[in-house]
Amino acid sequence: MFKEFLSPRISYFLMILYIILNSILIYFDIFYLLALPLVMLIGYLFVFRLDLIFLTIVFCTPLSFNFENLDLLGIGFYFPTEPMLLVFTLIFLFKALYEKNLKKDLLHYKNPIIILVFLQILWIFITSIVSEIPMVSFKFLISRSWFIIPILLYGIHFFKKGKKQIKQFFFAYLFAMVMVTCYTLFNHMMNSFSEEAGHWVMWPFFKDHTSYGAILALVIPINVWLLYEAKKNYFRILLVVFLAILLVGLYFSYTRAAWLSIILTIGVFVLYYFRIKLKWLIGIIIIPSIFVVYNLTEISYLVQKNDAEHTTENFSERVESMSNISSDASNLERLNRWNCALELFLQRPFFGWGPGTYAFVYAPFQKSKDLTIISTNFGDGGNAHSEYLSPLAEQGFFGFLINTLLIGLVFIYSGFYYIKCENDFYKILTLFIILSLTTYFTHGVLNNYLDTDKAAIPIWGLIGIFITIKTYLSPVSKNTTY
């Protein structure tokens, strides 16, 4: 029937009709119909080629920008990704009811990670009902759902087709992120690579340098893995160029947490790749811990004496400023936010204040001794700066517990899989998934961005790829229950 509808005669008739209507409307300065072919193409792809829409969303993510302060009930969104994710979610759920393959996949999701994700969504829904600001919390719930359903659930269906789809996902995100990095570096160059300009040169694609640095750190292991797997010389050269651009971008992001996350990730790589035994790992942790405890007084004195500021362009001084908790405004403000998160939790330990509400409710909980020159009393200064304390304040202890278990389970399962896997391709891929996730969740101690498309799409995508590998592509053994 669809082919008959597109028969040559009818197609020609529609083209002529479209031209005539457009001519009439343009005469009256009405240009909306010009977008009709693009709208029809996108509509066709949403109905018949969700895989292409999926990759388009992934590609658009680093290039998306945030519409804030819109007169739409105070709701902002990332364009074009979030509108596309919303439509994608509705169509995917509708198709899942009628297509056996999708329905089978949805019913087969018995992985503990998936169960915890659903439990987290359920708890977010419950805490949204009793939220201090329900409208904000339900918007948070909806946005979390349209990240998880298309990227994690459909992602598993997409990735199980094979290695090619996994590489397409990685390259789509990586290529767009390199474009953003080039744009940022060009802007930075026009401003002499100054530290001050480093806070805004990535706009409008990233709100600030910290989120930009976090995503740069996250995609570097992905770039390295694609380079490792590249078979053709021209593709290797391209990926080497990409890696160089990302590393330069990371350096000039002036994001200390991102630098630190890369260093920690290199440590994790060494532990896994060289198969450091558990007893040696325990020794590596215990010996420095004993040294720190034994010299705690001297270390405390040095920390208090440290006056290095993060605003410097000097790399060593900027790294040194990480431990400055006496005068560095950025570090002190982060401590202020963490203290507020703990105070919010103590006030409402079970249900919390509601998902997504921290920025609107934390201001009254600031103590005068914690205030800094960048503190605000208007609740417009951002979030809790922690991927762990944020759910504690907003969703109570149970929300914190689910979030911590989910993150821990991802690392435990992927770590065990890496140790047991005998397929070299999926073994190495799993290692680099672990490394990418390590960059983000170590950075997550100091910042949180999972409510944004920039972080949510690659993070849920990476988790979806691991689940697909373990469940469909290369199970360790049929008897594996971890």
pLDDT over threshold 60, residue 160: yes
- Three-state SS at 69: coil
Name the residue among 445, 438, 336, 331 with its Cα closest to residue 389: 445
**β-bridge partners, 281:** none
Query: Residue 96: its pLDDT value, please?
Result: 80
The per-residue pLDDT of the chain, averaged, comes to 83
pLDDT 10s digits, 348-377: 999 999 999 998 999 888 888 877 777 777
| 302: Cα within 13 Å, side-chain hemisphere | 10
pLDDT over threshold 50, residue 478: no
Q: Report how far residue 474's alpha carbon sits from residue 482's, in angstroms, rounded to the nearest whole number.
A: 15
Q: Report how far residue 416's alpha carbon sits from residue 477's, in angstroms, rounded to the nearest whole number.
A: 12
The domains of the chain are located at 16-45
CB-based contacts of 306: which residues, under 8 Å, 6+ apart? 320, 321, 323, 324, 326
pLDDT 10s digits, 425-435: 999 999 999 99
The answer to whether 383 and 390 have CB atoms below 8 angstroms apart is yes
- Three-state SS at 7: coil
Query: Residue 348: its pLDDT value, please?
Result: 95
DSSP H helix total and E strand total for the chain: 21, 2
Peptide bond between residue 204 and the one before it cis (omega within 30 degrees of 0)? yes
Token reading at 19: 């031209």
pLDDT over threshold 90, residue 415: yes
Q: Report how far residue 258's alpha carbon sits from residue 264's, in angstroms, rounded to the nearest whole number.
A: 10
pLDDT 10s digits, 163-217: 999 999 999 999 999 999 999 999 999 998 888 888 889 998 998 889 999 999 9
**β-bridge partners, 79:** 65
CB-based contacts of 225: which residues, under 8 Å, 6+ apart? 170, 428, 429, 432
- Dihedrals phi, psi of 75, to nearest 5 degrees: -95, 125
Q: Report how far residue 159's alpha carbon sits from residue 152's, in angstroms, rounded to the nearest whole number.
A: 10
Q: Report how far residue 87's alpha carbon sits from residue 154's, in angstroms, rounded to the nearest whole number.
A: 13
Token reading at 338: 């963490």
Peptide bond between residue 80 and the one before it cis (omega within 30 degrees of 0)? yes
The answer to whether 81 and 61 have CB atoms below 8 angstroms apart is yes
pLDDT mean over 412-420: 93
Give me the sign of the Cα torsion angle 29, 31, 32, 36.
positive
Token reading at 183: 């744009």
> In 177-207, which positions are buried (b, 16+ CB within 10 angstroms) versus exposed (e)?
bbebbeebbeebeeeeeebebbbbbbeebbb
Q: pTM of the predicted model, to two decimals?
A: 0.87
pLDDT over threshold 50, residue 482: no
DSSP-assigned letters across all residues of 260-316 = HHHHHHHHHHHHHHTT--HHHHHHHHHHHHHHHHHTHHHHHHHHHH----TT-S-HH
Cα 306 from chain centre: 33
pLDDT 10s digits, 70-122: 444 445 678 889 889 999 999 988 888 777 666 666 655 578 899 999 999 99
Token reading at 303: 């920390």
pLDDT mean over 379-400: 87
Q: Report how far residue 58's alpha carbon sits from residue 471's, in angstroms, rounded to the nearest whole number.
A: 23
Q: Report how far residue 202's alpha carbon sits from residue 262's, in angstroms, rounded to the nearest whole number.
A: 20
Least-confidence region, from 124-128, 150-154, 286-290:
286-290
Q: Report how far residue 227's alpha carbon sits from residue 462's, in angstroms, rounded to the nearest whole number.
A: 17
